[in-house]
Structure formats: C-alpha cells, structure tokens
Amino acid sequence: MTQTVLVTGATGLLGREVLRVFQRASGWEAVGQGLTRADPPAILKVDLQDAGEIEKLLDEVKPQVVVHCAANRFPDQCESNPELARVINVTASRALAQATSSRSILLIYISTDYVFPGRPGEAPYEASSVTDPTNIYGVTKRDGEDAVLEATRDSGLGVILRVPVLYGRTNTSSESDVNTLVDAVWKAQDSNAGLKMDDWAQRYPTNTEDVARVCRDIAVKYLSEKDQVTLLPKILQFSSEDRMTKYEICETLAEVLGVPLPGMTGNQQGNDPSAAVQRPFDTHLSTQALKDLGIEVHTQDFKSWWRREMRAFRH
C-alpha cells in the first residue's frame, strides 16, 4: 500500500532532499509545502503561521507522515527578531502537531544540536540529556520540541529528530553554513583578505542526503509499529562523526579544490562575550537511540562528498 508523506519547508536545504528521497522510495507518494519559494503544483504554497491553512493542507493531502523541516534556522536572524523566530519555530510547530495528532498522522519534527549548551567536556549528548540552549535559535527550537511533545502526548505520534550543521546540494551557497565556506575559501585566495575563521567551536557537518534517509527510515519504523507507537522513543538524534572547526572545514575544502589559504587565519579565541549570538563549543550528538531502533546511522565521508561535488572546479 502506498503511503503519503508531507514535507514542510520543501524548498529549503533539508526539505528539498527529504522530498527527493521519499519521491524515489518505493511505496511512497511525497508532497512538499513551501511559502515564499513555493512553485505549485510541485510544491504547495501554504502559510504554516495560519492554523486554518495547516488543517486544510492536511485534509487535502491526507498524509500518514509529516516531516517538519520548515523553520527559522539561522541563529543571527533569530537573535535579531526573536518574536518572528518564536512564531515559526514554536507557534506554527504546535499548531501543526495538534492538527497531525488529531488526525493520527505521524509528525517528525526536525530540531537542532543547539538545544544543548555545548560546554567543554559535556559532549556527546544523549537524547535524554538535559537541554540548556545558549542562544535564541536554540531556545525556540527547544520550545518547539516541547510544544510538539505536549501536543502529541496522547497519540504518541510526535517524534523529535535533532541534527547538527548541515551541508549538501544547494541553490545558493548561503543556504548552508558549510557550503558558504566555499566562498570564503575563494576570497582567501587574496593574501590581503584578512579573513579570520573560527577555529574553536567543534562542528559535525552532516549531509542532507543522510538526514533524509534517516527520516524515511524513522517513518517506516514508526508506521510499522503504529499500534505500539507510544512505547517508541520520542527524541532521536543523528550526526556524522566528522569533527571539524570552521577553519578546519575551510582547510579541507581548500585541499579538495587544490588551492592554498593565504588570506585566512584560524581564530581560537572562542566566543566574544559581547557578540549577539553565543555559540556552543561542542554539541556532539549521540546516535545511540537510533541504533537501538535498528536504524542505520552511517554517513557519507565529508571530504569524499566534496571531491565529487567540486570535481569541476579542481585545477
């Protein structure tokens, strides 16, 4: 029997990949939702800030699963406009969870490693670890988690999937904090560029293709055990094990491109106490909860993926 999945934020970095993976999977029909970049009928244009539009969308698509990728996921934007961040990351997520739960639809809410403080010596964090975000983005995503779990408590059909910084195929490099570092590498070809790149915070860049695969596997697992879904874990985490600072990512990208970095230096000073956004040192996510479910947690090798992606640019 064919199952239907609805992917919110299907025009974004992760949503596009989740939609593509489900579209290619046997036994699935995939429908995407977007807003400003939606292109009907391929991607339905629906404002998730309107609870009535959410309910109309669900009644029209009739999905068995919703993968909720739509979010304000840029920490600087969240810090500058916390009210808007809360509307998107919390209020809309709560309305969606209430609507899916009342219709017996499984909801997979994409969250972030930034729900953790990332203090030195604490990582890796288990799915059960206490959250304590250090910035508005992390706070709104943590509150979004709470809203989803509360709205789906009775049905048991709400699942949180935390992921770290993502990279993958983009329309513009600015969609990903990793992809945009390719632009920084090119700027650093100028020995006078004077670029200082963070060489302090530990990051675990994870490919959107791998996250999309895990979303599909979660959907299959939870639907297959829907009669006992209340017994399944409600918080899951997925991450690569490729540990790098932003400066080390730039070094890797430069190596792949076959170029030096004369105009870039690493900055190991850590957070500027006066900076608007305080970023965690290390929020490495444990994937044990996924492993316990029998879901594969392997990821693509960072350097190998970029070698394939950028082969046309190599000298």
Q: How far is CA 64 from CA 5, 106, 239, 249, in A?
A: 6, 6, 26, 38
Measured distance CA(156)–CA(159) in Å, rounded: 8
Exactly one of 109, 137, 204, 247 is catalytic; which is it? Answer: 137
User: What phi and psi, each to the nearest 5 degrees, are found at residue 272?
Assistant: -75, 120
User: Does the active-site annotation cover 137?
Assistant: yes
End-to-end CA gap in the chain: 50
Q: Give the E-state strand segments of 51-191 in sequence order.
A: 65-68, 106-112, 158-163, 166-167
Measured distance CA(167)–CA(178) in Å, rounded: 6
Measured distance CA(225)–CA(231) in Å, rounded: 9
Catalytic residues: 137
